[in-house]
Amino acid sequence: QVQLVESGGGLVQAGGSLRLSCAASVSTFSINGMGWYRQAPGKQRELVAGISSDGSTNYAGSVKGRFTISRDNAKNTIYLQMNSLKPEDTAVYYCNAIIYNSGRDYHYWGQGTQVTVSS
């Protein structure tokens, strides 16, 4: 069982920055992939950014160039640096971890942290 605890959300004006953190209860070396998803009211949850165990990253087109995902294996933590925030970035942001084991993939989720961007 993996527990994920997010922090760093809040209210910010358009053009501002926030950094989200997600601390895992196990070593990130044992996790195959981690990422950030978001869900706005009335919309489906979508992938924002992901980082694999080898450090490769991927981003949604809407955040590319503005958001950066990173990981600190010594702290079992991943981060999402969000710059040039827009009102449409407003959502609950969730941390996700994937572990592959015996041919199956197991997904774990954090509780979510609210990000609100005012215009």
For the stretch 103-119, pLDDT in tens is 999 999 999 999 999 99
- Per the document, the length of the chain is 119
Query: In this structure, which amino acid lies at residue 107?
Result: H
For the stretch 53-95, pLDDT in tens is 899 999 999 999 999 999 998 999 999 999 999 999 999 999 9
Confidence of residue 26 (pLDDT cuts 50, 70, 90): confident
CA atoms within 13 A on the CB side of 46: 14
Q: Are 115 and 9 in contact (CB under 8 A)?
A: yes
